[in-house]
């Protein structure tokens, strides 16, 4: 993909993002099998102009990071509704660091308030709880990706 490509989408305020659409790997980790919300977010982000690869259920941290590196992803999105998010997300963050890739990691779902700061301190970029709108998620990810890409240039 050319560095001069841009994406424009009315649902995210018509913003233009140098470097093309946000590329994202989205997955459900471990034994978490609740994926209705993940489908809503994935489809909504695709409609907003994001390139989203949904890996599906029961993915390992290794599978997620390997896919993100192969796809040159800007963002890894992890949906957690089953309570195993702290260990799982920390494993993903460790593998991202080991890979040397500069990839934003976001988490969504049922993340108790007492766990949120720990995840942010560990390196999670954003946490989106139940009730987050896809437009808000898209807007925040566009801004974070723009900063990431500027840092890389």
What domains does the chain contain, in order, with CATH numbers?
Answer: 15-147 (3.40.50.280)
User: Does the model's pTM come out above 0.75?
Assistant: yes
Pairwise CA distance, residues 59 & 96, whole Å? 15
Which residue carries 């308030």 as its tokens? 113
- Give residue 7's pLDDT: 42
Ranges of the chain with pLDDT below 50: 1-14
The confidence score (pLDDT) of residue 32 equals 63
Query: How many whole angstroms from its chain centre is CA 146?
Result: 14
> Given this model, what pLDDT does residue 87 score?
83
pLDDT of 81 = 79
Per-residue pLDDT at 26? 96
Across 60-71, b (16+ Cβ under 10 Å) vs e yields ebebbbebbbee
Closest listed residue to residue 74, CA positions, set 145, 136, 153, 1: 145
Query: How many secondary structure helices (H) and strands (E) does the chain include?
Result: 5, 7
In 3D space, the residue among 124, 134, 131, 135 whose CA is nearest the CA of residue 109 turns out to be: 131
How confident is the model at residue 6, as a pLDDT?
Answer: 37
Distance CA 135, CA 153 (A): 27
Question: What pLDDT, on the 0 to 100 scale, is given for residue 8?
Answer: 42
Phi, psi of 115 (to 5 degrees): -95, -20
Are 111 and 86 contacting, i.e. CB atoms less than 8 angstroms apart? no
Q: What is the pLDDT of residue 16?
A: 58
């Amino acid at each position: 993909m050319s560095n001069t490509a841009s994406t424009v989408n009315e649902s995210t305020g018509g913003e233009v993002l140098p470097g093309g659409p946000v590329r994202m790997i989205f997955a459900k980790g471990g034994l978490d099998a609740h994926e209705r919300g993940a489908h809503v977010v994935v489809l909504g982000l695709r409609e907003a102009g994001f390139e989203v690869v949904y890996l599906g259920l029961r993915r390992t941290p290794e599978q997620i990071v390997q896919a993100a590196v192969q796809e040159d992803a800007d963002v890894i999105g992890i949906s957690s509704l089953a309570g195993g998010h702290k260990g799982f997300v920390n494993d993903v963050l460790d593998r991202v660091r080991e890979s040397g890739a500069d990839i934003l990691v976001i988490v969504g779902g049922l993340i108790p308030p007492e766990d949120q700061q720990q995840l942010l301190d560990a390196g999670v970029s954003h946490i989106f709880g139940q009730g987050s709108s896809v437009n808000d998620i898209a807007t925040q990810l566009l801004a974070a990706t723009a900063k990431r890409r500027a840092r890389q240039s």
